[in-house]
Structure formats: C-alpha cells, structure tokens
Amino acid sequence: MRINHAGEIAAQGLYHGQALVARNPAIRALLEQAGREEADHLAWCEARLSELADRPSRLDPLWYAGSFAIGVAAGLASDRVSLGFVAETERQVERHLQSHLEQLPAEDVRSRAILEQMQKDEQAHGELARSAGGAALPVPVQKLMQATARVMTTTARWI
C-alpha cells in the first residue's frame, strides 16, 4: 500500500503542475477535477496504511516535487501533450494496480476494494484525457515514464 500511496502523491504533483500551466480553462478544470479524485485515492491509501500499521514513503516530498515539475513541463508543451501525458500515465497506473491486485492475498478484501476502485477511476481519467484531445506520446517517452515509475515504486517500497 506504501507504493500506491507514493503513486497518489505523485499524481497530486502531476495534476497540480499540469493545471497550473493549462492554457484552456476547460482543460484546467478537467485536470483539477481529476486531481480532486486522486486526493480521494490518497486519503484511502493513507487510511489503509494506518490500518496496516505501516507508514508512507519517506521520499513523498521528492515524489511530489518531481511529479509537479514533470506536470509543468508536460503542460508547457501544450494542452494536448498534457492530456496525452495523463492518458499514458493512467494506462500505466492501471497495469500497475492490476499487478498489485494479482499479488494481493484474497483475504485482504479492504485493500482489494480500494485498489479496484482506484483502477476504475484511473481508467476513467485516461479515457477522459484521450477524448478531450490527448495526443499519443512517442514510444521513447512512454518507456522513460515506465522507467521513472519503476524507480519510484522500487524505492518507495523500502524508503
């Protein structure tokens, strides 16, 4: 759950950075709304961490700051690129959540319910970004995003 919490910290940074520089007010509103929904995910993960007597990653401020900077960069490129970044991020997060669901013990019903709802919400965010005009990102950018996510998820597990 610590990894999912760190991911939600990063999501907050991304959406805040992207919304800050969005040119189109409708796109800004879409990003802000998705950010509010991600805040729900963050609260759920935080509560579950507490229930499991675990703690968040000590690197959460780094995840937020780095993601905020990436969000600003994507947003400055263009609203279409920013939305494409959302769509690709959410696609990758959906796969990550699916792998966690597959590893989760069947008896951990509470964590499973949280992750399943998060997965549905992430899928909706990605679809919304694509339908709002998100540009497909080049494969090298997608691969760089995957590598960055691997660093975060691996590190967040331990620190």
Query: What is the model's pLDDT at position 116?
Result: 95
In one letter, which amino acid is 136? A
Closest CA to 33 of 74, 69, 86, 85: 86
The confidence band for 159, taking pLDDT boundaries of 50, 70 and 90, is very high
- Note whether 91 and 145 are within 8 A (CB): no
Give residue 132's domain range. Answer: 2-158
Count of domains forming the chain: 1
Q: What tens digit of pLDDT does each residue of 111-133 get?
A: 999 999 999 999 999 999 999 99
CATH code for position 77: 1.20.1260.10
| 38, two tokens | 């991600």
Each residue of 48-94: pLDDT tens digit?
A: 999 999 999 999 999 999 999 999 999 999 999 999 999 999 999 99
Q: What is the pLDDT of residue 143?
A: 94
Packing angle of the helix pair 139-158, 79-103 (nearest 10 deg): 50
Q: pLDDT at residue 157 above 90?
A: no
